[in-house]
Structure 1
Amino acid sequence: MTDAHAPERDDELQTTITIEATPAQVWALVTDVKRMNEWSPQVVKTVVLGGPLRLGTRFVNLNRQGWKRWPTTAKVVRFQPHADFAFRVTENGTIWSFQLGPTDDGGTLVTHRRETPNGISALSRVLTKVALGGQEPFVAELRAGMAQTLARVKAEAESHQ
């Protein structure tokens, strides 16, 4: 597993991994948001609102840090099958994404990002400081969680090879 960090703009985070499975197989996992609690250490449960996942679909996550729990709502903002899946979190304005590309040996290079095109909301910054241990520790926790998410997706995808 590689943990690549491109130069980050303010609060943007990224982690990359190579998975020995096709982009279609990986896509099926990362877009099955009802299973996100199996991949992400922060997600407790995801409920999709409406029909199948596609551009514009909304969903609700219940997140955790230790004993603390909080809901977030999200909307799918990019949905290019087998290539790019992204959703914007309403409460803080961040965009979480999975970008997939084929490797020469039939696998998939996956980049998991937290994008902050408009920064992070002031309310979210205050709540992170007051309730989640502060920006630096929380970002470190998010970065570790992103790597763990990709490692879990990799393990699941490769177990079916």
Structure 2
Amino acid sequence: MPPAFPSSGLPQLEAEIHVDASVEAVWSLLSDLRAMSSRSPETVRMFISDAPQVGTKGINVNRKGAVVWPTTTKVTRWKPPSDDGTAALAFWVGPTNVEWSYELSSVDGGTRVVERRSPLRRANLSVRLASKWFMGGAENHDVELVDGMRRTLAALKADAERR
């Protein structure tokens, strides 16, 4: 039986959706990081001290069932909509040392939104143990994360298309 949490090599995770709204409309919702908890099934709350920009730090509270845990975040990319029809934001998350990102591009009269979590390079012991004992193992949690990404994007789509 493989270990419940490999020490390295977990893949990049990705989900995407087409939204019938402009890049600017989608960005106006997505860039409100404090509202992430209204769309993400695992994020309970994001605490950010300043208006988001590269370098802005924050603390997230996450939940899976009865398990609640904090993570730290730092905005690593902040590109509002531009003339090229794109926008992007990303933030590093500790202690897992991964980057979550969103890329928006104008496509077919709407917006293509891609959400990614970078590969997990090397998990420290506390992350491996938490994953094994509270998340059902890394591979299982990755499946749940991709499902959560799809749900997050579906909620973003619904919000943008309601406007």
Tell whether the structures are fold-level matches, with TM greater than 0.5. yes
- Match of 2:153? 150
Q: Secondary structure at the match of 2:151?
A: helix
- Match of 1:6? none
CA contact (8 A) 1:44 1:62 kept: yes
Equivalent residue letter for 1:78: R
- Match of 1:18? 18
Q: Secondary structure at the match of 2:112?
A: strand
Mapping for residues 1-161 of structure 1, pairs under 5 Å: 10-49=10-49, 51-82=50-81, 83-105=87-109, 107-116=110-119, 119-123=121-125, 124-160=127-163
Calculate the TM-score normalised by the size of structure 1. 0.88
**Alpha-carbon distance in structure 1 between the residues aligned to 2:124 and 2:72:** 17
Percent identity between the aligned chains?
A: 37
CA contact (8 A) 1:61 1:71 kept: yes
Report how far residue 158 of structure 1 moved: 0.2
**Residues matched between the structures, number:** 149
**Alpha-carbon distance in structure 1 between the residues aligned to 2:148 and 2:96:** 18
Report how far residue 53 of structure 1 moved: 0.6
Calculate the TM-score normalised by the size of structure 2. 0.87
CA contact (8 A) 1:94 1:120 kept: no
- Match of 2:6? none
**Alpha-carbon distance in structure 2 between the residues aligned to 1:120 and 1:77:** 20
Q: Deviations over 1:91-123 (max 9, x none)?
A: 111100110000132x1000000012x614223
Report how far residue 10 of structure 1 moved: 3.5
Which range is displaced more, 128-137 or 32-41? Answer: 128-137
Q: Secondary structure at the match of 1:119?
A: strand
Runs of 4+ in 1 over 4 A off after TM superposition: none
Equivalent residue letter for 2:53: R
CA RMSD in angstroms comes to: 1.3
**Alpha-carbon distance in structure 1 between the residues aligned to 2:129 and 2:102:** 27
Larger Rg: 2
Q: Indicate the structure with greater strand content.
A: 2
Give unmatched runs, 5+ long, in structure 1: 1-8
Q: Secondary structure at the match of 1:18?
A: strand
**Alpha-carbon distance in structure 1 between the residues aligned to 2:88 and 2:133:** 34
